[in-house]
Amino acid sequence: MRPENYQAQSHPPSNEYELFIGPNHPGIEGNYAFKLKLHGDVVLAGKADGGYLHRGFEKLMEGRLWIQNIALVPRICVPDPVPMEVTYSMAVEDLCGLEVPERAQWLRVLQLELSRIAAHLFTFGGHAATTGMYTTSYWGIADRDLILDLFEALTGGRVYHIFNIPGGTRRDVPPGFLEQVSQTLDYLESRLPDYDNLLFTNQVFITRAKDVGAMTQEQALEWGVTGPNLRATGLAFDVRRDDPYLVYEQLEFDVPTEAAGDAWARAMVRRAELKQSFRILRQVIERLPSIGGPVRAPIPNPLAWNVPAGETYARVESSKGELAYYAVSNGGDKPYRVHVRGPSSMHAVQVLEWLAEGARLEDVAQIMFSLDACPPEVDR
């Protein structure tokens, strides 16, 4: 038969049917698939289908020198690449006992928070687009681009910065950069009311997002939910504050929470985090000029660098949640094993499956975007 001519097969009458979302689908963040079993509009069961972005990162890393992996790791989560670099660097530094100069630590915080803002703006856009609110995504992505401009000025790359290496950062800030950051922050802050008007106080959006994909705090803890998604259930936990790294201990910021645990609460937590990131960045801009010293500890030549045997678990708070690297060295010039624990490995698979159950077809995409799931973190 001519293959295009699917004839609906005659099956015993049933109200149940299956639907694939993805891998190439606007309602899916990235190259990822989700199978749904539906009864009418109600999802009976959901099943994640990953691996479309699988590159075998962990295997690749075992075949490359410690420093070469710096170019590889940001690719594990494309929308939010800086935490990947920083965490990997932190893991290697921990293994080597390298002391990172203070200025480099501040520079890392600067990048991490810029990256968080960029990722959240991207997520707002994505989340809104799943509900048909395309204007927000156009705005969000255009505003995110200003952050990318900052990254370009700082690191020489828009998306893949490859700027943090074990020992510190590769360069210092270019002249006039902090003013540029400050101006961009001013601009973004002035844009927040626009976003509020358009999205966060939009009645239709609230109708769509409230009570969608809701989980209780107990469920969240049981399911291993982290990051903004966990905070949206009312637990004020942030790795930056509770397992501090870099110089976060010297910074003032709040850990915003929401109680409801639904898509709406998650969006609101992200929105509040945006403000906290602005606040952190303002402090960095204020403090950075007074901190002297080098931006990188002396490291051996990359071609002749054996990292002492050992293992370490480095973790940070990425924009999506808890990100961790488990790195093992056998004393060689290449990692013996690196395990990447991306936050989305929970959110995009099990949590999404559980939340999709009983949800409506209209809301599945929204649940995924409100969890800020990043498939490459799952597939690696």
Binding-site string for other proteins from residue 82 to residue 101, where x marks contact by CB under 8 A and - marks none = --------------------
User: How far is it, in rounded angstroms, from Cα 181 to Cα 283?
Assistant: 12
286/339 with CB nearer other proteins: 339
| Interaction of residue 335 with other proteins, rule CB under 8 A | no
Q: How many residues does the chain have?
A: 380
| Interaction of residue 183 with other proteins, rule CB under 8 A | no
Stretch of 45-53, 83-91, 106-114, 285-293 contacting other proteins, by CB under 8 A: 45-53
User: How far is it, in rounded angstroms, from Cα 29 to Cα 31?
Assistant: 7
Binding-site string for other proteins from residue 133 to residue 152, where x marks contact by CB under 8 A and - marks none = xxx-xxx-xx-xx--x---x
Which residue from 174, 186, 189, 309 is in contact with other proteins, where contact means CB under 8 A? 174
Which residue from 204, 216, 286, 358 is in contact with other proteins, where contact means CB under 8 A? 204
Which residue from 186, 196, 286, 309 is in contact with other proteins, where contact means CB under 8 A? 196
Smallest gap from Cβ 283 to other proteins, in A, equals 19
Which residue from 99, 189, 309, 339 is in contact with other proteins, where contact means CB under 8 A? 339
Q: Which of residues 274-333 bind other proteins (CB under 8 A)?
A: 275, 294-296, 298-306, 311, 313, 315, 322, 324, 326, 328, 333
Cα–Cα separations (whole angstroms), residue 75 to 71, 79, 204, 277 = 8, 9, 36, 23
3/292 with CB nearer other proteins: 3
| Interaction of residue 103 with other proteins, rule CB under 8 A | no
Which residue from 130, 233, 277, 318 is in contact with other proteins, where contact means CB under 8 A? 130
Q: How many CB atoms lie within 10 A of CB 212?
A: 21
Smallest gap from Cβ 197 to other proteins, in A, equals 4
Is 230 in contact with 222 (CB distance < 8 Å)?
no
User: How far is it, in rounded angstroms, from Cα 91 to Cα 308?
Assistant: 12
113/379 with CB nearer other proteins: 379
Residue partners of 358: CB distance under 8 A and separation at least 6: 42, 43
Is 124 in contact with 195 (CB distance < 8 Å)?
yes
Burial class (CB in 10 A: 0-12, 13-18, 19+), 140: buried
Which residue from 68, 211, 279, 357 is in contact with other proteins, where contact means CB under 8 A? 68
H or E stretch covering 258 = none
- Cα angle 141, 77, 218 (rounded to 5 degrees) comes to 95
Cα–Cα separations (whole angstroms), residue 348 to 135, 142, 171, 184, 231 = 25, 26, 35, 32, 17
Q: Which of residues 230-269 bind other proteins (CB under 8 A)?
A: 235, 237, 242-243, 256-258, 268-269
* Residue listed under structure tokens 């395990």: 339
Report the candidate in 75, 99, 92 with the shortest Cα–Cα distance to residue 328. 92
| Interaction of residue 190 with other proteins, rule CB under 8 A | no
| Interaction of residue 166 with other proteins, rule CB under 8 A | no
Stretch of 68-76, 84-92, 108-116, 281-289 contacting other proteins, by CB under 8 A: 68-76
| Interaction of residue 211 with other proteins, rule CB under 8 A | no
| Interaction of residue 117 with other proteins, rule CB under 8 A | no
CA 293 from chain center: how many Å? 31
311/357 with CB nearer other proteins: 311
Cα–Cα separations (whole angstroms), residue 180 to 96, 251, 272 = 35, 21, 23
For residue 48, the SS3 value is strand
| Interaction of residue 217 with other proteins, rule CB under 8 A | no
Stretch of 74-82, 84-92, 107-115, 281-289 contacting other proteins, by CB under 8 A: 74-82
User: How far is it, in rounded angstroms, from Cα 14 to Cα 116?
Assistant: 46
| Interaction of residue 53 with other proteins, rule CB under 8 A | yes
